Amino acid sequence: MEWLTAACWGAFGGFAMEALDFIRAVRWHRKWPWLIESASLDLGQPQAHRHVRPGEENLPATGFGAYLASGVFRIVVSGGLAGAIAASAPPGTVTPWVSLISGVGSLAILERLLTLVPLLVRYGKDAVVGMVEAHQAQQAQQQSQTLPPAGPAVPGPMNPGTPSTGSAGIASPAQPDPGPGGVVQ
């Protein structure tokens, strides 16, 4: 699947999640989601939520523009992630279903990946340098073990002054070019 097709399926997955959030908000609060104030989210005392910082319990409603922008961002991020997965995967491994699921879960995927960034920054350089040095040492060891013994590089007898070929029809090492008069010097 081409990355652009996968991005479209991922964008549809992001749109599906946005539509599901919209449906839940309308059914629960009986009004448009952009008209819901944070204080009306809990019918009792405001409680701390994962995405609400202290002092944000009584903020006004976000408004249609902010709600629309967040939906568009979600769709674009979902499509971008699905397209990136398809572009980096071997051909034939990404299906529309995989792209749709990556679009649906794009926000969760990115949140989990972002938790790894401090680890990569802190330990990534040392790990990469260590891996490169280990790989170079391994290659040097393999090259020293696989060097052929000293001798002719081409099969066949080596009689100086007589042209000959090996059993496979490969000429033996080059003979000196005869000088004037055909005499080998």
pLDDT tens per residue across span 82-129: 999 999 988 888 999 999 999 999 989 988 888 877 766 666 666 666
Asked if residue 93 is part of any domain, the answer here is yes
In whole angstroms, what is the distance from residue 132 CA to residue 160 CA? 47
Asked if residue 157 is part of any domain, the answer here is no
Number of domains in the chain: 1
Asked if residue 33 is part of any domain, the answer here is yes
Strand partners, 145: none
Asked if residue 152 is part of any domain, the answer here is no
Query: What are the tokens at 56?
Result: 């944000």
Query: 97: domain range?
Result: 3-43+55-120
Asked if residue 38 is part of any domain, the answer here is yes
Which residue has 């969760």 as its token pair? 108
Confidence check: pLDDT of 46 > 60: no
pLDDT score for 123: 66
pLDDT tens per residue across span 3-39: 999 999 999 999 999 999 899 888 888 888 888 776 5
Cα dihedral 99, 101, 103, 108, rounded to 10, equals: -140
- Global pTM? 0.53
Asked if residue 141 is part of any domain, the answer here is no
Asked if residue 134 is part of any domain, the answer here is no
In whole angstroms, what is the distance from residue 79 CA to residue 11 CA? 4
3-class secondary-structure state, position 171: strand
Query: What are the tokens at 180?
Result: 């004037």
Asked if residue 151 is part of any domain, the answer here is no
